[in-house]
Amino acid sequence: MKLLILGGTEFVGRAVTEDALARGWDVTVFHRGNHAPPPGVTALHGDRLDDLSALADAVRDGAAWDAVLDTWSGHPRAVRQAAELLADRAGRYVYVSSRSVYAYPSPPHQAEDGPLVEPGDEGYAQVKRAGELAAEAAFGADRTVLVRAGLIIGPGENIGRLPWWLNRIARGGPVLAPGPYDLPLQYIDARDMAVWMLDAVEAGLSGAYHLVSPEGHATMGELLESCVRATGSTTAELRWAEPELILRHDIEPWLHLPVWVPPGEDHDTIHRVDVSKALATGLRCRPVADTVADTWAWLNTLGGVAPQRSDRPVVGLDPDVESKVLAALGDGD
């Protein structure tokens, strides 16, 4: 198989690149050159918005691929330009979209046929929906795979969610643990995502798929306890707090306490989605303990400092705020 990855050097794109190389595929990556791709790929340099000349030259020289994989999350013009350029030179277009494309709020167990937002050039959900439509316009619905991912974690994460929890727990001491303990989580390890997407190319799939773990695959308690075990912290003490106490201290779910969203509409939208379609086509998700342990091992190779995407906010809770909540928790407030 011949694969073109638009990106391919960080997080999801890199996971796909490494898995494709392990399968013996011929892999080309088109990227800006800011990060070195894995050895063994053909690298083309350019800019998705301003300079596709290297990609256009390759097309003129007769390059062709079985599939294109696109992780772009910015202006949909970049998806449209690439898809139009490659429509006659690639068999399939795999676009990494988002579950955010659905009209809010999403009811529990929503499938891929739920109502969608209007496409646009601003707003994450609107931009992703516009990207989906651009891919389908160029390749046709029968040659396009729309990967509507949810929370993505695992080695290589450049958003900072799981790395923040690992580093916080590694510091030890009382740790504010947002409850309830058995709050169900849905996420996808970037490596499991890569496997499914490449399998989808081989199987000739098309259409939209939710790509997160099955509902209840893990809980908040299992995630944080896995962090304690992975870091080997002997002093970390998870102090579980009810959502009401946390929210009274103006702590923003998802941003200040990554991954966590209290029960309610937001939680239903993020962590209670129907993934039966992806499961029926081969999605398999490794245990949360494995994802956490492997992410900690990767973080250690970087001295504990994870990369941070410049277009995403820095996540995490201010230590002074955490101390105030822990104090209130101790007082039984």
- Amino acid (1-letter code) at residue 48: R
Euclidean distance between CA atoms 54 and 71, whole angstroms: 19
pLDDT at 126 over 90: yes
In the predicted structure, residue 209 carries a pLDDT above the cut 60: yes
Q: How far apart are CA 263 and CA 240, in angstroms?
A: 15
Residue 146 and residue 135 in contact, taking contact as beta carbons nearer than 8 Å: yes
Of the pLDDT bands very low, low, confident and very high (cuts 50, 70, 90), residue 141 is very high
ω into 180 cis (within 30 of 0): yes
Task: Please give the CATH architecture assigned to the domain spanning 2-149.
Answer: 3-Layer(aba) Sandwich (3.40)
Question: Where in the chain are the domains?
Answer: 2-149, 155-185+215-272+287-330
pLDDT, position 107: 94
The two three-digit tokens of residue 3, written as one number? 């694969």
The DSSP-derived string for 142-185 is GGEEEEEE--EESTT-SS-HHHHHHHHHHH-SEEEEES-TT-EE
Residue 311 clears pLDDT 90, i.e. is over it: no
As a whole number of angstroms, the distance between CA 294 and CA 230 comes to 9
Quick check: 299 pLDDT over 50?
A: yes
Quote the CA–CA distance of 146 and 136 in Å, as a whole number.
Answer: 9
The pLDDT value given to residue 331: 58
18-73 residue pLDDT tens:
999 999 999 999 999 999 999 999 999 999 999 999 999 999 999 999 999 999 98
Q: What percent of the chain has pLDDT over 90?
A: 96
pLDDT at 286 over 80: yes
Identify the pLDDT of residue 128: 97
Q: Let me know the angle formed at the C-alpha of 264 by 329 and 274, rounded to the nearest 5 degrees.
A: 130
pLDDT digit string, tens, across residues 149-199: 999 999 999 999 999 999 999 999 999 999 999 999 999 999 999 999 999
Considering only CA atoms, which of 156, 210, 186, 181 is closest in space to residue 8? 156
Question: Which helix (H) or strand (E) is 307 found in, with range?
Answer: none
